[in-house]
Amino acid sequence: MNATKTSQLFSPVELGSTRLKHRVVMAPLTRSRSVQPDGVPGDLMLEYYTQRASDGGLIISEAAQLSLATRGWHGAPGMYSDAQVDGWKKIVDVVHTKGGHIFAQLWHPGRFSHVSLTGGEAPVSASVDPEYWQNPSRLISTPSGWIQPSPHRALAKSEIPGVLEEYGKAVKRAKSAGFDGVEVHAGNGYLIDQFLQDGSNKRTDEYGGSIENRARLLFEVVRWPLDVRDRSSREISLQTVDLSQIQPRQLSSTATPTQYRSVVTLFRILIFREGYEKDFC
């Protein structure tokens, strides 16, 4: 690495209202260390993030699940209960005490799940693909060990507002826990990516077919907190930025599904700003 690139790597950058002292960002890493059976961040997670917090740096948390019905990995923490928020708050507080910043990654696994994780609810996806759950090489981490995923069903169009509402509630809880922002997990074959990819999305409504339609859920999830207004008609005080500020990328105007996955890899970041008070409930 030459001197210019080294200098840029360790130079400050602003992500909305969050100012980083350098551009070395800790990526989200699945640890499976939450307290079970309720997915509450406990002492082991607190120790993990305490060890990795640094002055002026940014941590993207491991994926946090939106609800009991959207759990997809045994041991992963949630962002849907008061106890989980209290556990996250201890982690956020220690990161801030060390001068660092932390964003919460929000995650809906879609068909990558099992009924033993979801309280009996069948996993959902863009479309139904029996080969997915019949493939013996595809395994899910559950309380009983690694087993094949449960049969999934197609998410009804009428259910999509409910999915958006779950993201909105998780954003509110992340704010309550003190996170500096949230990252929407939209890759790696999980729900949003299942809508993006034409191999898993066979829908004939406005969420299927063209790449614009397949990307509709992603952009609705990102825009949901921005489009909602509170009771006094003031816009929610949030910004959207992306990680291209740290590592620029170029996308063609005629993006292919693979290039859309590059967009997903960048993610969209929702940056909290002072004054955010919307009740999503």
CA-CA distance, 213 to 216, in Å (whole number)? 5
Q: Answer yes or no: CATH 3.40.50.150 is held by domain 10-272.
A: no
How many Cα atoms occupy the beta-carbon half-sphere of 245 within 13 Å?
Answer: 19
29-to-12, 63, 111, 242 alpha-carbon distances in Å: 24, 8, 20, 19
Tens digit of each residue's pLDDT (9 = 90 or more) over 173-219: 999 999 998 888 988 899 999 999 999 999 999 999 998 899 899 88
Q: What is the mean pLDDT of residues 27-39?
A: 95
Q: Using an 8 Å Cβ cutoff, are 243 and 184 in contact? A: no
CA-CA distance, 41 to 79, in Å (whole number)? 10
Catalytic residue among 190, 207, 260, 276: 190
Mean pLDDT of the chain: 82
Integer-rounded Cα radius of gyration of the chain:
19
Tens digit of each residue's pLDDT (9 = 90 or more) over 42-84: 999 999 999 999 999 999 999 999 999 999 999 999 999 999 9
Specify the amino acid at residue 108. H
Q: Using an 8 Å Cβ cutoff, are 124 and 159 in contact? A: yes
190 is catalytic: yes
Q: Which residue has the higher pLDDT, 152 or 227?
A: 152
Tokens of 156: 């009804």
Q: Where are the domains of the chain?
A: 10-272
Nearest CA to 88 out of 180, 185, 226 is that of 180
CB atoms within 10 A of CB 211: 15
pTM score, two decimals?
Answer: 0.82
